[in-house]
Amino acid sequence: MAHDSELTAAWRDLPDGDELTTSISDMLAQAKRLGADAAEASLTASRALSVSVRGGTRDALDFEGDRTASITVYRGGASGSASTTDLSGPGLTWALDKANTIARFTEVDPYAGLADADLMAGQWPDLNLYNPWSITAAEAEALAGEIEQATLAHDSRISQTEGATVATQDAITAYANSHGFIGIERASRHALSCTAIAHDAADRMQRDIAFSQARRATDLATAAAVGGLAGQRVVDRLGPRSVKTGPASVVFAPRVARSLWGHLLGAIAGGALYRDASFLKDAIDTPIADPGLTISQHPHRAYGLASAGFDGDGVATRDRTLVANGILRGYVLSAYSARRLGMAPTGNAGGVFNIDVAPGAASFDELIADMGTGLVVTELMGQGVNLVNGDYSRGAAGWWVENGRLAYPVENATIAGNLADMYRGITLANDVDTTSALATPSVRIERMTVAG
């Protein structure tokens, strides 16, 4: 077996932009020679290192190197797609042949095709996404050990961890289409995490996790901070109780509030809209939430976890305000979904980019004090959300609030409501958590049904 240092040296090799540009240009030229009306292709190469420590010893060491290519060809209104992990000349030719064959036997779709040429991204700023972390497997193992030790040292009731992990990934992606557009993006992503396990006096076990992620290793939280947060979170869950069934105010802490906005973004995504599977269809320029809610997108943010100069169609990305003072201002559309809806693409093929939820005026403590009695949710379970009608029901754990203060931890609760009503009854705190591509403060829903 190769030594860690030897694996690391091999793992660090990635193709350069010129190599990917040549390969992808050759694919498109070959597609044209084979009679395609148009084509688009993407090539991606990535490398990743992940080291986990559990019980003071290395639990896992993974070096990964992925290569993928995909191509879509359009012929007479029909399309065919194929992918491969073989980026050699024969491998790419095989994928192209498969895509052509599929297109010959696929029904015509009048909405399929490339985005319009005049929508292609031109120039975009350097987003500073590529920041490799020169860390060896041995160094990553030592750092993971520090995280685990910080977790275990936080409280004597923390008996063990499910592992502390240090992970790093670098990738390079090329996208091109028959309009002559070629875009190259290089990006790095690094993460630290730990899952802690604690037992209370009755030997009831609780589990919780903490993590930090960033484009630059220097922007990660310290090992002590990640380990300490995992420890604090799991200790806070010890000695949980049940709650009585009834109406109550519910506060979503930032790490679970993201799911609230994820449901909203899902409801304004093109796929849900043209399938008539969204309670927010035909809601542009209408109030959908409390006037305190403003949600914006910022794709050109330097070092952003979801920054990009172009979307999956090659369309230029741009800053957008999706919700302004509670009023829905735009949908999230690819070229295909825009055609289905008779609208213009928004540069969101593949999703959204760096979402910010504007904060309110109150601190978290003020938000809690003002609610009097209710539930603070720190974990959600289950998938009981129906975007067709907005019905919402999920398992929850967190803290019960009495007299405006956190009283005791709660588990096995269920919270239920309807998203349309929930968005109209929100109050936002000012404790914005920026550790994710979706930055949000805590959110209070004035009235939901809480069940024990």
Phi then psi dihedrals of residue 76, to 5 deg:
55, 35
pLDDT confidence of residue 376: 97
Task: Point out which residues pair with 401 in neighbouring strands.
Answer: 374, 406
The mean pLDDT of 162-190, rounded to a whole number, is: 97
CA-nearest of 187, 180, 171 to 24 is 180
Work out the pLDDT band at 4, boundaries 50, 70, 90.
low
73 pLDDT exceeds 50?
A: yes
pLDDT confidence of residue 2: 43
pLDDT single digits (tens) 119-141: 999 989 999 999 999 999 999 99
pLDDT single digits (tens) 296-322: 999 999 999 999 999 999 999 999 999
pLDDT single digits (tens) 338-365: 999 999 999 999 999 999 999 999 999 9
1 pLDDT exceeds 80?
A: no
Domain ranges of the chain: 4-235, 246-451
Work out the pLDDT band at 223, boundaries 50, 70, 90.
very high
The mean pLDDT of 357-385, rounded to a whole number, is: 95
pLDDT single digits (tens) 80-123: 999 999 988 999 999 999 999 999 999 999 999 999 999 999 98
pLDDT single digits (tens) 143-153: 999 999 999 99
Cβ neighbours, 10 Å, residue 305:
19
pLDDT confidence of residue 331: 98
Which CATH number describes the domain made up of 4-235?
A: 3.30.2290.10
Say if residues 18 and 42 touch (Cβ distance below 8 Å): no
pLDDT single digits (tens) 404-425: 999 999 999 999 999 999 999 9
Work out the pLDDT band at 14, boundaries 50, 70, 90.
confident
pLDDT confidence of residue 354: 98
64 pLDDT exceeds 60?
A: yes
Lowest mean pLDDT among 7-16, 35-44, 211-220: 7-16
Task: Point out which residues pair with 125 in neighbouring strands.
Answer: none
pLDDT confidence of residue 203: 87
Q: Give the CA-trace dihedral at 375, 380, 383, 385, to 10 degrees.
A: 40
pLDDT confidence of residue 11: 53
